[in-house]
Amino acid sequence: MPVLVVSTVESDLRQLLRKRVTAAGGRIVRRFSNARIIVIPYEPEESVLAALQQIKSVEDGSASVVKPHWVLRTFFDGYADTHTARPRWENIRVSVADLGDEELRLDVMISLEREGALLVPFNDCRVCVLPAGHPYLSTRPTAYEHMRFCDAAYVFEQCGVQRIIPKLRPAGRSEYRQQRLSPTLASKGGPGRQRDIVSSSTTAVSSIHLRTKFTAEDRDRLARYLAIACPDETGRTSRKLYRLLVERGSNRQGNRWSWTARHPAEGWRQHYRTYKARPWHDGTVLEDLIRQYVEDGIDSGFLTTAERRTRGVKTPTKRAKRGAEMQSALAASTKRKRGERQVQEEKQPYRGVTKKRSKPQAASSSASEDEEIDGLLRE
């Protein structure tokens, strides 16, 4: 079904509509004469409506003029939506935190999107959905006066969705501390105990435990990194592997490693463990992506052989080979000089008390692993 999205629709919403139309098997067109569905803003100007009525396809009824939520509801429901009421969350930027249940979180996101909401990261939102019992629901921090906080039950009520919400353990650590240290018990413990009470109005944002959503670009970069640092399947769940990944991003700001700061080290590792053999929502399997990049000959610049050829980047095979030869020659020279020095020391008599030569300490396995991974990813 050819769909045209009017340019006056907000850019973020227009991008979302194009994504949903493509996923449903439709296609985006740019000419009104080729479109069968024309998507207009929620509040179009009178001049836009008048211009649409003069289009031949709209006049004879072969093309339909709809609002953005019609496309979203049709995508999720699987049939043409006939509900004409105005969506309750239209153009509201909402962020959904980790609710403790991935299925519940997905239902909340679908319900919001069906009602015209735009799902954005936490820093860009006006409304944030938190797990039930979170302290921010009762006392909003002064740093987030511009935001509104609600739980999943409120979202389902506003969207008219009948959904049973499972009882889960609250997600905020500060709430557990408040339950464990009541004001009465804290006063008995003296001034030192009182300082342990967490005030929900001054709690740092880290206590929300918001999780940045993984994107297809994140998965692609993770697959490229693992294909370089760990081409074999063994060792890909090592915590050190992902700790080094995040450290490279924090130590080298403003370069191609800056994307590593989007998730913590354990987040990258957990995503690999969860989806290494399971299809993601786009149908890709992480192990298949890694294997494909290994076969395509990816280098330390995160480019495959075909990508280097397309971008005009010279394949660093000869340069890498020459560098390896120079390193091996340097190592052999150092070893030879060390042997000659040892022979001279053995021939030279010691004066006075004979001193024992200290044995060189073997490098720890952790340091050798760090150097090995860093060597693979050396620029």
We report the CATH number of the domain holding residue 127 as 3.40.50
Q: Are residues 158 and 96 in the same domain?
A: yes
DSSP codes of every residue in 328-365: HHHHHHHHHHHHHHHHHHHHSPPPSSPPPPPPPPPPPH
Model confidence over 116-154: pLDDT tens digits? 888 888 888 899 999 888 888 888 888 888 889 999 889
The pairs formed by 338-346 with CB atoms below 8 angstroms and a separation of 24 or more are none
Q: Supply the pLDDT for residue 177.
A: 40
Low-confidence spans in the chain with pLDDT less than 50:
170-209, 350, 352-356, 363
Considering the domain boundaries, does residue 168 fall inside one?
yes
> What is the structure's pLDDT at 128?
92
Q: Examine the domain organization and report whether 220 and 117 are in the same domain.
A: no
Single-letter amino acid code for the residue at 163: R
Residue 360 in domain: no
Q: Are residues 191 and 156 in the same domain?
A: yes
Residue 354 lies in a domain: no
Element (H, E) at 271: helix 265-275
308: CB partners within 8 A, 6+ apart: 299, 301, 314, 315
pLDDT the model gives residue 182: 35
pLDDT at res. 195: 32
Question: Are both 136 and 54 inside the same structural domain?
Answer: no
Residue 238 identity (one-letter amino acid): S
Q: How far apart are CA 143 and CA 314, in angstroms?
A: 50
Main-chain dihedrals φ then ψ at residue 120, nearest 5 degrees = -135, 165
Q: Which residues pair with 66 in a beta bridge?
A: 39
Are the C-beta atoms of residues 14 and 3 closer than 8 Å to each other?
Answer: no
Final residue of a domain: which of 156, 184, 211?
211
Q: Of 43, 77, 111, which closes a domain?
A: 77
Q: Are residues 234 and 303 in the same domain?
A: yes
- Asked if 121 and 182 sit in the same domain, the reply is yes
Residue 121 domain-assigned (yes or no)? yes
For residue 373, tell me if it sits in a domain.
no
Same domain as 135, residue 202? yes
Number of domains forming the structure of the chain: 3
Could you tell me if 105 and 72 lie in one domain? no
Stated as kind and residue range, the H or E segment containing 37 is: strand 37-39
Query: Residue 64 corresponds to which tokens in the numbers above?
Result: 């339909």
pLDDT on residue 200: 33
Is residue 28 within 8 A of residue 18, CB to CB? The reply is yes
Query: Beta-carbon neighbour count of residue 93 at 10 Å?
Result: 16
Residue 118 pairs in a beta bridge with 93
pLDDT reported for residue 326:
57
CA distances for 13 relative to 72, 89, 114, 194, 264, angstroms = 11, 13, 12, 48, 29
Dist. CA 294–CA 308, nearest whole Å: 15
Domain boundary among 54, 77, 100: 77
- Kindly state whether residues 244 and 178 are assigned to the same domain: no
User: What is residue 31's three-state secondary structure?
Assistant: coil
Q: Which domain holds residue 282?
A: 216-311
For residue 314, the model assigns a pLDDT of: 55
Measured CA to CA, the distance from residue 142 to residue 89 in angstroms comes to 25
Give the CATH number for residue 11. 3.40.50.10190
> Does residue 336 form part of some domain?
no
Whether residue 295 lies inside any domain: the answer is: yes
**CA 350 to each of CA 339, 353, 354: distance values in angstroms, whole numbers, following the listed order:** 19, 7, 6
Structure tokens at 338: 């060390």
Do 70 and 94 sit in the same domain of this protein? no
Residue 379: closest CA among 282, 290, 318, 299: 299
Question: Cβ(104)–Cβ(129) under 8 Å?
Answer: no
| Residues 91, 207 within the same domain | yes
Would you call 150 exposed, middle or buried from its count of C-beta atoms within 10 A (0-12, 13-18, 19+)?
middle
Assess if residue 355 is contained within a domain: no
Do 225 and 297 belong together in one domain?
A: yes
